[in-house]
Structure 1
């Protein structure tokens, strides 16, 4: 049933999970993940939800059947997803390409899109009803690397929920996979972009050497007394940043920073507001980790088709007092500067750090994480029924971060949400 906290009640009837395997036999081999892929922080399943409306031209087609068949064909090209993870010496992760398949659940819900009203906007209030149950992701040997549920709605629309083990791909990589899947659902015989494994490009060097200051991985003591964790009172909310809102905030930015991005402005605003709300002591450090796609930071850029994790989480750091007491431009400049630190050498240094320090965890103490998923374009994935009405993370939790912030594209009646 839908959550009791909502006035809308409906039932989702799920069939037994099945394993969808590649449509034809695929290579049985072992592939190493990169040292960026197999970080401790990424060893979890992350879920995206896409919501589609009815399309009259597809009236005679069943979305579950179309999407399932296309998935089997797509796994021929992306066959590592049909395998299972293994852990080797030094906790090194690899994929045993067994062709066992990915989890697929067919479901039906006795509800229409209209009944959801405004709740379609991220975070989708009923997301958990449409998610395939995620097994313990620590059980690497048995955990499927993709978990998909397609739920038909009474109105002819449907919901696609895709969970993937984050060690296999980042948001850009998953977007590449999903667009290949959608192309095949629309009738293509092969993806327009051929997938490339090439994980050796982000392996640690021999010998490994840390050449950059990676404060995102520092061990930080939590000064909060037991039982006073600020995460206990956090709630998930959406805020719309359309052109009008962005322009209003940009007026607070000094002239020399006027070319900063909307991401810089939104992130700086959220960082200051969050720090004030949590009432962090003025002399304590706070961190804002900005996920930066590093594909084009390499020279030459990583090859087209690479779908592994290729991002960094550089941390902007300030004392809470300086962050909240200085003009707004102070926060914007910190965000803008730290994003620029991500280079090819930075990425190699992170990979080396993982080997030297035993795949250490990101710090979560007085830290927040922001990821920009607008360029992943999950809303544009078209299985034949047109673009999705909403495409966004299903849950706020991102690994150890109970309340990560996601910047996603969403169209309301007037403007987009940044």
Structure 2
């Protein structure tokens, strides 16, 4: 497949928007602060005349209420970030491909995605980088793809999908449904100055250094190993079987383990087995928890920013594999249930007191040695199952496929609901090539 760029421009808000600096929260400035790609494929049944003009015009109009996306980031003292709202605009690319949708098979992330997703040049100063990049690629045999790369320093998953949904509404000629607001005070100030003492009692292990392979002092060699991505589907029947297995030993006075807790536990066990961990190998699983409904009072709909907190479940690999699936699910539940209003506030207070946030930031994509939490012997399992990722209609009908762009972090995985709404689940997993075949075998064999 050959993809050639035909046009690139900056799209600015349709009317003048707010200018000045918008404070960022601690959650905006830690973890992944680079761009996160997603891609949609469409195969309209009618003419695509005016496609680019409609998308570009509606993008300009939706940037009025979502004006921070048209701004730029700047570094400040202590590896902190400032968001300057200056209407510089977002990058908009139009490309054409000599291939068709059929060339992409089941749409699993593949090398061709590299040409369908807008590239971010992290060699440039951060103040020159668009916070949102959009690429429209028309296929010679009909259809098109729409891919977006959104800075995670400005929006988490729920916020990014809020923006995409409202953009689609405007492209269809409909009014805004939920007005975004950007006041980071919505996350709440710390209740008292003593909350940071939680860290001295080990209750915030998400900020500790993750386990390494036994006998190693760093994970540099592990990061060098070649990875690949697989899209693995679980039918509703298979999901139900896993849930039944996990809940066989679930205490009668507690609620059953959820789909996420069960599937994440299954992935964790299969990864440890495929990686051939020693019995006493420490391993950690990163869980992304949305704090919006866990704050007191809950954050109202429309908050645009990062309100997710990464927490960590830990175990020895031998314990994961010698115990039933419910053990892994219980470790994950324990990590999730720690995320309360007080827990979130104490973490924010701790981060505010840090002289630098650098050690909490994933700068891997920027070419830094500071890589992600994931990687052998650890992994991360992020759930998109509750996010409205499907049915995004810009005026040409809903997508034929939606999914993540390429991601090359060993142990990075996403869990998505199946696109047909039939109870199936799709797991997008990146793993070292040498471990992927064994993982696939165990993934289905152990159900």
> What is residue 307 of structure 2 aligned with on the other side?
310
- Which among 244, 265, 278 is matched to residue 262 of structure 2? 265
What secondary structure sits across from 2:92 in the alignment?
Answer: strand
> What is residue 94 of structure 1 aligned with on the other side?
82
Paired residues, what number?
400
What secondary structure sits across from 1:49 in the alignment?
Answer: strand
Offset of 1:346 from its aligned partner?
1.8
Asked whether the 8 Å contact 2:378–2:411 carries over to 1, the reply is no
Q: Distance in 2 between matches of 1:388 and 1:329?
A: 36
What secondary structure sits across from 2:381 in the alignment?
Answer: strand
Offset of 1:355 from its aligned partner?
2.4
Offset of 1:369 from its aligned partner?
0.8
Matched, 1:406 2:414: yes
Deviation string, structure 1 residues 209-239 (Cα, Å, up to 9, x no partner):
4236121211246343777527614321111
Matched, 1:156 2:167: no
> What is residue 126 of structure 1 aligned with on the other side?
112
What secondary structure sits across from 1:99 in the alignment?
Answer: coil
> What is residue 219 of structure 1 aligned with on the other side?
209
Q: Distance in 2 between matches of 1:138 and 1:301?
A: 39
- Which among 370, 373, 378 is matched to residue 389 of structure 2? 378
Tell me the TM-score normalised to structure 2 length.
0.83
Q: Distance in 1 between matches of 2:223 and 2:305?
A: 34
In structure 2, the CA distance between the partners of 1:139 and 1:375, relative to structure 1 (3 Å rule), is farther
Offset of 1:108 from its aligned partner?
1.2
Asked whether the 8 Å contact 1:83–1:95 carries over to 2, the reply is yes
| Structure 1 residues 361-376: aligned runs within 5 Å | 361=360, 363-364=373-374, 366-376=377-387
In structure 2, the CA distance between the partners of 1:380 and 1:353, relative to structure 1 (3 Å rule), is farther
Higher strand fraction: Structure 1 or Structure 2? 2
Offset of 1:117 from its aligned partner?
2.9
Matched, 1:202 2:187: yes
> What is residue 49 of structure 1 aligned with on the other side?
39
Matched, 1:417 2:425: yes
Q: Distance in 2 between matches of 1:332 and 1:230?
A: 27
- Which among 250, 257, 262 is matched to residue 256 of structure 1? 250
Matched, 1:193 2:181: no
Q: Distance in 2 between matches of 1:263 and 1:50?
A: 24
| Structure 1 residues 74-113: aligned runs within 5 Å | 74-113=62-101
What secondary structure sits across from 1:378 in the alignment?
Answer: coil
Q: Distance in 1 between matches of 2:380 and 2:123?
A: 21
Matched, 1:299 2:307: no
Asked whether the 8 Å contact 2:250–2:326 carries over to 1, the reply is no
Q: Distance in 2 between matches of 1:90 and 1:304?
A: 31
In structure 2, the CA distance between the partners of 1:29 and 1:208, relative to structure 1 (3 Å rule), is farther
Q: Which runs of 5+ in 1 are unaligned?
A: 1-9
> What is residue 67 of structure 1 aligned with on the other side?
55
> What is residue 396 of structure 1 aligned with on the other side?
407
- Which among 160, 168, 183 is matched to residue 174 of structure 1? 160
Asked whether the 8 Å contact 2:29–2:81 carries over to 1, the reply is yes
Q: Distance in 2 between matches of 1:230 and 1:269?
A: 24
Asked whether the 8 Å contact 2:95–2:138 carries over to 1, the reply is yes
RMSD of Structure 2 on Structure 1 (CA): 2.4
What secondary structure sits across from 1:37 in the alignment?
Answer: helix
What secondary structure sits across from 2:87 in the alignment?
Answer: coil
In structure 2, the CA distance between the partners of 1:402 and 1:18, relative to structure 1 (3 Å rule), is farther
Q: Which runs of 5+ in 2 are unaligned?
A: 361-371, 427-447
Q: Distance in 1 between matches of 2:395 and 2:178?
A: 19
